[in-house]
């Protein structure tokens, strides 16, 4: 059933021909109201939007900024762009003006498409402005005259989208993904048989995060339905679960943090939603105490740990062991999906390390990004010569992630190379300190930072307690317990108990916000 085409819209719209009546998108409108858009209706919306974009004079390669959350209309808009060879650049309605200004300045879009009324006052440019919704796409400000592009048809190497990653350091980088890269990732993902035509895939990531594009591709390429979870409801466990129940979601995808408050306050209500048969998570480690609670609430569900970087969408899908062994130290990230390969390379650049030896993950894959938009230096730092055969001209992605190989070849992620810090003359893997904190009774989430203090840098731990923990005494003795399993220089000098961890727009733990909150004592 999966289309062999290298073009994004042809893969995702294949069910229009084969199962036109099946639901493609099921929108939660609140108060028990749902809106279902069939594949036939989605296809018609794509054609209507594409006609408006063509009439506006846009040509292959013209960028289109797409400001919207995930919805049937937003999916139609990105597929319409895809069908015309217009690279779409998704940004969140939640994104601050200065971030949108940076994206617009970097990409020089011909058109700025919004789902919502009004416009961002702080974002100027000669781009056209369009508004789209269920009833069509309207150009409200004509785009400036564009350069003539003598292009006729699309190829696999044409750009499908640009995703700007906040990047752990420095200015946002535009990850350029071609049609061929995205569809070869999708084909690797479809081999995992995560969903079928009768599934309903709840998506919780913002459209600017490529995890949402995984969800949309997973659903539409499988003939299943996309269920966008309204982002404001994610903060209210009962409302989030209400959406899952009312829409009949069978698959729930999202970063680990979407489960934090649900598991803390509404684990029983989650357990009552028996339509959920799969959960896929990615982006960062899922704290094991919380994962155990998720498994307890959904014992029959298939839990998949998806590892990867935006520069290749993702690269591995690994089933969480069932049962989760009591002494499990960390989840495996398995092996790359068929068609890709993760290679470990040591500090000297030598590949294929011995079992247990930590190296940096290098990814060989047809799903690699084309490069960072307008940033050849950053591109050549990420797409490096193949460590196995440097003379071949072949490039692989240097991920910046550290891992070791287990007994039967599966990989274990141990942290980012840049989260290894030199602390009081010693190399400290912050993830290791976090992992030890999670082994302490009552702690369900932990983040450790090195923060400046008058007496010098200090290891600061921010922990979240489980619902049953006696918060008053939780921190007592915690340092003593850590001192039994960690060298003294790795025992945090500061411990703070929080009711939750701040997250970035993409849902990951927001370390910068913690550092600001912790501020100088
Ligand atoms: N499963 C894990 N366990 C632990 N650490 C993870 C996992 N997945 C990532 N990471 C970390 O996140 C980094 C990358 O960050 S990113 O570029 O913002 N992209 C992401 O997070 C999301 C990533 N594109 C992705 C993942 C799955 C599906 C899709 Br579609 C997209 C990786 O280099 C890792 O350091």
Tens-place pLDDT, residues 418-466: 888 888 888 888 999 999 999 998 899 999 999 999 888 899 999 999 8
Q: What is the pLDDT of residue 171?
A: 73
Q: What is the pLDDT of residue 168?
A: 52
Percentage of the chain exceeding pLDDT 70: 98
- Structure tokens that stand for 119 in this block: 């416009």
Rounded to an integer, the average pLDDT of 373-402 is 96
Lowest-confidence segment of 119-123, 183-187, 274-278 by average pLDDT: 119-123
- How would you write 116-171 as a 3-class SS string? CCCCCCCCCCCCEEEEEECCEEEEEECCCCCCCCCCCCCCCCCEEEEEEECCCCCC
CA-based angle 387:390:397, to the nearest 5? 50
Q: Name every protein residue with a CB atom under 6 angstroms from any ligand 1 atom.
A: 165, 210-211, 213-214, 282-285, 305-310, 313-314, 333, 399, 401, 413, 416
Q: Where are the strands (E) in 290-424, listed by range?
A: 302-307, 316-319, 341-345, 359-364, 371-372, 383-385, 395-405, 411-416, 420-423
If we measure between CA atoms, which residue out of 189, 157, 155 comes closest to residue 176? 157
Task: Say yes or no to pLDDT of 409 above 80.
Answer: yes
**Helices 179-190 and 210-221: angle between axes, nearest 10 degrees:** 60
Task: Say yes or no to pLDDT of 393 above 80.
Answer: yes
Q: What is the pLDDT of residue 423?
A: 84
- d(C-alpha 201, C-alpha 123), whole Å: 34
Rounded to an integer, the average pLDDT of 462-487 is 84
- Structure tokens that stand for 39 in this block: 């594949």
Condensed to tens digits (0 to 9), the pLDDT of residues 77-118 reads 999 999 999 999 999 998 999 899 999 999 999 999 999 888
Rounded to an integer, the average pLDDT of 371-386 is 96
**Helices 39-55 and 72-84: angle between axes, nearest 10 degrees:** 50
SS3 content of the chain, % helix, strand, coil (to 5): 30, 30, 40
Q: What is the pLDDT of residue 169?
A: 54
Task: Say yes or no to pLDDT of 329 above 80.
Answer: yes
Ligand 1 atom closest to residue 306's alpha carbon, by position in its atom list: 1
- d(C-alpha 287, C-alpha 477), whole Å: 21
Q: Count the alpha carbons within 13 Å of 434 in the hemisphere toward its beta carbon.
A: 24
Question: Using an 8 Å Cβ cutoff, are 97 and 104 in contact?
Answer: no
Q: What is the pLDDT of residue 265?
A: 94
Q: What is the pLDDT of residue 58?
A: 93
Q: What is the pLDDT of residue 341?
A: 97
Q: What is the pLDDT of residue 170?
A: 59
Task: Say yes or no to pLDDT of 174 above 70.
Answer: yes
Lowest-confidence segment of 35-44, 55-64, 138-147, 353-362 by average pLDDT: 138-147
Candidate of 201, 282, 303 to mutate for ligand 1, largest count of ligand atoms within 8 Å of Cβ: 282
Q: pLDDT-based confidence at 9, cuts 50/70/90?
A: very high
- d(C-alpha 358, C-alpha 309), whole Å: 19
- d(C-alpha 411, C-alpha 395), whole Å: 21
Question: Using an 8 Å Cβ cutoff, are 166 and 102 in contact?
Answer: no
**Helices 478-485 and 430-438: angle between axes, nearest 10 degrees:** 120
Lowest-confidence segment of 92-101, 114-123, 191-200 by average pLDDT: 114-123
If we measure between CA atoms, which residue out of 509, 514, 510, 472 comes closest to residue 494? 514
Q: Count the alpha carbons within 13 Å of 177 in the hemisphere toward its beta carbon.
A: 33
If we measure between CA atoms, which residue out of 75, 52, 46, 48 comes closest to residue 130? 52
ipTM over 0.85: yes
How many other CB atoms sit within 10 Å of the CB of residue 495? 19
Task: Say yes or no to pLDDT of 520 above 70.
Answer: no
Omega into 323 within 30° of 0, i.e. cis? yes
Higher-confidence residue of 173 and 169: namely 173
Instruction: Tell me the CA–centroid distance for residue 309 and ligand 1, in Å.
Output: 5
- d(C-alpha 202, C-alpha 209), whole Å: 15
Lowest-confidence segment of 46-50, 346-350, 406-410, 514-518 by average pLDDT: 514-518
Token pair 């939007």 is at which residue? 49
Rounded to an integer, the average pLDDT of 331-350 is 96
- Structure tokens that stand for 71 in this block: 């919805």
Condensed to tens digits (0 to 9), the pLDDT of residues 156-167 reads 999 999 999 875
Task: Say yes or no to pLDDT of 468 above 80.
Answer: no
Q: What is the pLDDT of residue 471?
A: 66
- d(C-alpha 242, C-alpha 273), whole Å: 9
Burial (CB < 10 A; 0-12, 13-18, 19+), residue 494, is middle
Q: What is the pLDDT of residue 202?
A: 98
Q: pLDDT-based confidence at 31, cuts 50/70/90?
A: confident
Mean pLDDT estimate for the chain: 94
Ligand 1 atom closest to residue 165's alpha carbon, by position in its atom list: 18
Instruction: Tell me the CA–centroid distance for residue 451 and ligand 1, in Å.
Output: 25
- Structure tokens that stand for 6 in this block: 């290298």
Q: What is the pLDDT of residue 152?
A: 73
Candidate of 203, 218, 285, 309 to mutate for ligand 1, largest count of ligand atoms within 8 Å of Cβ: 309
Higher-confidence residue of 147 and 45: namely 45
Q: pLDDT-based confidence at 479, cuts 50/70/90?
A: confident
Instruction: Tell me the CA–centroid distance for residue 448 and ligand 1, in Å.
Output: 19
If we measure between CA atoms, which residue out of 251, 248, 170, 245 comes closest to residue 217? 251
Question: Could you tell me the pTM of the whole model?
Answer: 0.93
């Amino acid at each position: 059933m999966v289309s062999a085409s290298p073009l994004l819209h042809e893969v995702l719209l294949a069910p229009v021909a084969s199962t036109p009546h099946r639901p493609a998108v099921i929108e939660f409108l609140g108060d028990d109201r749902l809106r279902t858009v069939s594949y036939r209706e989605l296809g018609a919306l794509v054609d209507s939007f594409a006609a408006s974009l063509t009439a506006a004079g846009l040509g292959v390669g013209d960028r289109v900024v797409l400001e919207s959350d995930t919805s049937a209309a937003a999916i139609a808009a990105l597929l319409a762009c895809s069908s015309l060879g217009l690279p779409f650049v998704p940004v969140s309605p939640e994104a601050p003006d200065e971030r949108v200004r940076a994206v617009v300045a970097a990409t020089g879009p011909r058109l700025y498409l919004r789902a919502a009324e009004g416009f961002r006052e702080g974002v100027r440019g000669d781009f056209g402005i369009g508004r789209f919704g269920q009833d069509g796409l309207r150009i409200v400000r004509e785009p400036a005259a564009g350069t003539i592009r003598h292009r006729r048809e699309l190829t696999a190497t044409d750009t499908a989208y640009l995703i700007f990653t906040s990047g752990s350091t420095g200015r946002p980088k535009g990850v350029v993904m071609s049609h061929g890269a995205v569809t070869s990732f999708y084909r690797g993902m479809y081999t995992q048989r995560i969903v079928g035509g009768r599934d309903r895939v709840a998506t919780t990531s913002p459209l600017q995060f490529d995890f949402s594009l995984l969800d949309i591709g997973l659903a539409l390429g499988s003939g299943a339905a996309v269920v966008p979870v309204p982002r404001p409801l994610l903060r209210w466990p009962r409302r989030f679960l209400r959406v899952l129940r009312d829409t009949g979601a069978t698959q729930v995808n999202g970063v680990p943090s979407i489960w934090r408050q649900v598991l803390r306050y509404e684990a029983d209500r989650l357990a009552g939603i028996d339509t959920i048969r799969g959960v896929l998570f990615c982006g960062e480690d899922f704290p094991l105490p919380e994962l155990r609670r998720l498994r307890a609430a959904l014992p029959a569900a298939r839990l998949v740990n998806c590892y990867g970087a935006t520069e290749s969408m993702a690269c591995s899908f690994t089933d969480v062991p069932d049962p989760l062994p009591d002494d499990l130290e960390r989840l495996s990230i398995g092996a790359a999906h068929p068609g890709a390969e993760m290679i470990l390379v040591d500090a000297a650049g030598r590949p294929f390390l011995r079992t247990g030896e930590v190296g940096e993950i290098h990814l060989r894959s047809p799903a690699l990004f084309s490069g960072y938009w307008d940033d050849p230096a950053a591109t050549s730092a990420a797409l490096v010569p193949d460590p196995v055969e440097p003379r071949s001209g072949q490039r692989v992605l240097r991920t910046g992630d550290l891992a070791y190989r287990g007994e039967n070849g599966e990989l274990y992620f141990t942290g980012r190379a840049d989260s290894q810090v030199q602390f009081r003359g010693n190399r400290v893997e912050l993830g290791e300190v976090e992992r030890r904190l999670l082994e302490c009774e009552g702690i369900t989430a932990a983040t450790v930072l090195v923060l400046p203090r008058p007496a010098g840098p200090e290891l600061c731990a921010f922990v979240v307690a489980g619902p049953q923990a006696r918060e008053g005494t939780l921190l007592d003795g915690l340092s003593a317990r850590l001192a039994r399993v960690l060298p003294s220089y790795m025992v945090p000098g500061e411990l703070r108990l929080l009711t939750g961890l701040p997250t970035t727009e993409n849902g990951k733990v927001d370390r910068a916000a913690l550092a600001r909150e912790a501020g100088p004592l």
